[in-house]
Amino acid sequence: VPLVYLHGHRQARYHAVWPVFIVGDDPATLTFTVAAGDSAFLPASESDDLVYGPLDPQEPRRQYVTATVRRRLHQAAFRERVLDAYRESCALCRLRHRELLDAAHIVADREPEGEPKVPNGLALCKLHHAAFDRFFLTVDPDYRILVRDDVLEEPDAPMLEHGLKRLHRERIHLPRRQELRPSPELLERRLEEFRSRGR
Ligand SMILES: [Zn+2]
């Protein structure tokens, strides 16, 4: 039976995934196993018989779809937790519009240390997320913003001046709770990469 799975991020906030199927049940531990479905398992039109399956959780396509959904849910949860920690504002410029904010990874999620945990995240607006990802600027382990030399030397333009250059050596806005603040070790790793790319 196809189901809708509501993955809770925090109280009263859910991410919906469908269709999903229960493929395993372990009453002893009160747990069950969910596999995500995809359109390949849905009827082509409403007049078709509703036939799903057979659903084999070991099938490579099924494993792939389920892994993709799980990753998406983790990313959505990461975003929620990071935006919460930073009270829904950019750590660099304090922009407060949720639609314009992202949860940036300090160490990329393709690397082993790049876990989707709040201390590996920064709430950044779209401009500062792109600038951070592309090493226009970084944040050092003392939480100071460093802008790349060639950007600092670029002739003035209002957006560059106000949006990036002005931030050089400013302190970022931090979560109130110590344990949610960016990890200095991860910022140090980022700083090393920033320097190795310096022009
Ligand atoms: Zn910003």
**pLDDT tens profile 125-149:** 999 999 999 999 999 999 999 999 9
CA of 52 to the centre of ligand 1 (A): 46
**What is the CA(132)–ligand 1 centre distance, in A?**
10
Cα 164 to ligand 1 centre (Å)? 9
**Which residues have CB less than 5 Å away from ligand 1 (the ion)?**
90, 92-93, 95, 125, 128
**Pure H helices in the chain:** 60-85, 126-133, 149-153, 158-163, 184-196
The full DSSP string for 150-185 is HHHHSPP-HHHHHHTGGGTTPBPP--SSGGGSPPHH
Between CA 66 and CA 80 the distance in angstroms is 21
Which stretches of 14-142 are DSSP H helices?
60-85, 126-133
pLDDT at residue 49, rounded to an integer: 46
Q: Please state, rounded to an integer, the average pLDDT across all residues of the chain.
A: 87
Say what the pTM is: 0.78
Report whether 103 contacts 68 (CB < 8 A): no
Q: What is the pLDDT of residues 150-165, one digit of tens each?
A: 999 988 788 888 899 9
Q: CB of 22 within 8 A of CB of 34?
A: yes
